[in-house]
Amino acid sequence: MAKNQPLGIELVKKGIVTGQDIEKALKYQETHRSRRIGDILYILKVADPNKLINAVGEILGKKGKYLEFNNIGVEPTDYIPFDVMKKNKAVPFEVEAGRIKVAFADIASSESSIKSIKLLMLNKGLVLDVYIAFQSNVEEFLESYEEQSNKDMENIAGNETTTEIIDNIIKLAIEKRASDIHIEPQIDAVRVRFRIDGELFVITTVPKDRQAQLIGRLKAISNMHQEKQNSQDGRILLYPEYNIRVSSQKNIYGEKFVLRLLKKNSNIRNIFDLGYPYSEDQLDRAVNKKNSLTIMAAPTGEGKTTSLYSILDYLRSDSINITTIEDPVEIRIPGLNQIEVEGNIGFSDSLRTILRQDPDVILVGEIRDKETAEIAIQAGQTGHYVLSTIHTIDAVEVITRLRKIGVQDYDIASTVATTISQRLVRRLCPNCRKEREFTDQEKEVIEKIFEKYGEKVDLSNVKTYNAVGCEHCNHSGYYDRVGLFEVLDITDELKEMIMEGKSSIEIRKKALEQDYRPLVVDGIHKVIQGITNLDEINRKLLIYNQ
């Protein structure tokens, strides 16, 4: 088909519109010079919008997309922040097999936008597929989406007092299961975002002229200094069931506040409910030890503390003295002696004191330095069972991290019994997930990874699911999170390799010959079980790049 003829002529040839429709569009364009013919035909409603955009896309050598809420398979802001969507007139609408489909308005003049979105998606481990959409359709969709996103907060900054605004924000966050509230001064407004199941969502904006009052109220109820603009920490104790930690930090537009919502006396979830994939016998071998140290490893925000609480709950009995050192105590557990680090007294100072309190099991909130690590190891070498956390990317790299902070190979080999690494991914919403077949590419990825790690899989009768979105899951398609786990048992062979100063690469290779399996293996098992999907695993582990 000739591509050099005017779009209107090609559409007439295809029978999508008539010559009279084109005349109307050209007349409309005389007073709307910025609008293209395809967009004008959409505005004039002269043809079915789906047929029209598909025809326009075919003529321009692109795939077309008509945007409607019922044909969007993802929560757009999970992938592109709303302000970025608005700036680039770009809407993501489907993710599958490591590729994300994004509809752009006016592709001819949006080369820089496409490049920006492509780079943003690559950073998330996704390949961009470009679709064309009508400019008016994109603008209408984004306007409706913004209204939908703000409907819960539409009256938040009307005639309400500052006290009521803050109260409404916190109560809505509790209702929406948010773990954090971000109150962020911007150039022309104050943005409010909630972190739900690990992802940030824009909830509303508050007029800029209310900023000083918001900051003053937050400082007052958090017991912070009003005049001080340096970073501060405080707490809000106005909500009986919640202990809300507050952090402030000055930025170029004012002071940003982050509120962490911690539920008091919340039930400790069973470690197996959190997603621990192994049997109770295997868990016993991993965590029920004396004269040793178990370390939970993961980046910040991946649920290390929650898993450690579950392990302590699993170990708890009247015959065991369990003592914890935490910063802060996030959940109070009956039967445990929980100590909160305060002021200049750090983990190492508290740990020295605890060793004189006849403990059987000790939880050290985090190994941050050589001194804390050495005292924790000393405790493990003198008959105690110690659990702690450390920031590393996987279970094997715990050894490297301990070496870097100055712990000797002998102490690591003689005391560290188990290292556990984890990540959190979102669970598919059981109310709205949509079953489908695995694509050939997805099957290839799964089979390749399983073959690499000596796992077997038969995908012939296995289905997977797309995230859809409903009221139950705040239209995200996901509800709650599940852990992906890997467990490294420091066997005698691995102890010898540590003593010999072998690298983490050599240790990992030997561990894989034993029972160690990396996070991605557990992740794919959870996809096969229908708990999550490959897109979620890829967000954390970039499986399509392996």
Domain presence at residue 534? yes
Q: Which two tokens stand for residue 330?
A: 């996030």
Read off the DSSP letter of residue 208: G
Confidence of residue 254 (pLDDT cuts 50, 70, 90): very high
Residues 140 and 163 in one domain: no
- CB count within 10 Å of CB 311 equals 24
Residues 91 and 212 in one domain: no
448 by Cβ neighbours in 10 Å (0-12 / 13-18 / 19+) ranks as exposed
Last residue of one domain, picked from the residues 105, 120, 147: 147
Domain presence at residue 535? yes
Residues 141 and 184 in one domain: no
Reference 427, options 395, 472, 459; nearest CA is: 472
Residues 323 and 349 in one domain: yes
Buried b (16+ CB within 10 A) or exposed e, 412-429: bbbbbbbbbbbbbbbbbb
Domain count, the chain: 3
Average pLDDT over residues 533-539: 91
Average pLDDT over residues 164-177: 91
d(CA 290, CA 428): 38
Last residue of one domain, picked from the residues 208, 230, 263: 263
Task: Tell whether the model's pLDDT for residue 448 goes beyond 90.
Answer: yes
Residue type, 414: S
329-376: pLDDT as tens digits: 777 788 889 888 776 676 778 888 888 888 899 998 889 889 889 888
Of 36-45, 289-298, 421-430, which one has max mean pLDDT?
421-430
The count of C-alpha atoms lying within 13 angstroms of the C-alpha of 422, restricted to the half-sphere facing its C-beta, is 25
d(CA 258, CA 194): 10
Least confident of 38-52, 405-419, 482-496: 38-52
Reference 355, options 320, 392, 331, 380; nearest CA is: 380
Angle at 214 between CA 212 and CA 218, to 5 degrees: 120
**Domain CATH number, residue 166:** 3.30.450.90
432 by Cβ neighbours in 10 Å (0-12 / 13-18 / 19+) ranks as buried
Residues 467 and 377 in one domain: yes
Reference 367, options 338, 314, 327; nearest CA is: 327
Residues 522 and 453 in one domain: yes
Residues 490 and 518 in one domain: yes
Residues 124 and 218 in one domain: no
54-76: pLDDT as tens digits: 888 888 888 999 998 878 888 88
281 by Cβ neighbours in 10 Å (0-12 / 13-18 / 19+) ranks as exposed
Cis peptide before 299 (omega within 30 of 0): no
Residues 373 and 513 in one domain: yes
3-class DSSP assignment, residue 240: coil
**Domain CATH number, residue 88:** 3.30.300.160
Answer with the residue of higher pLDDT: 515 or 2: 515
Q: What is the pLDDT of residue 8?
A: 78
Confidence of residue 2 (pLDDT cuts 50, 70, 90): very low
**Domain CATH number, residue 520:** 3.40.50.300
pTM equals 0.74
Domain presence at residue 273? no
Average pLDDT over residues 84-106: 87
Last residue of one domain, picked from the residues 263, 292, 322: 263
- CB count within 10 Å of CB 147 equals 10
Domain presence at residue 58? yes
Domain presence at residue 160? yes
Task: Tell whether the model's pLDDT for residue 205 goes beyond 80.
Answer: yes
Domain presence at residue 120? yes
Residues 167 and 139 in one domain: no
Range of the domain at 481: 280-545
Domain presence at residue 54? yes
Contacts of 128 (CB under 8 A, 6+ apart): 99, 100, 102, 114, 117, 118, 121, 122
Q: What is the pLDDT of residue 503?
A: 95
Average predicted confidence (pLDDT) for the chain: 87
Q: What is the pLDDT of residue 3?
A: 47
Domain presence at residue 433? yes
Residues 442 and 484 in one domain: yes
Reference 92, options 73, 68, 115, 105; nearest CA is: 73
Residues 165 and 187 in one domain: yes
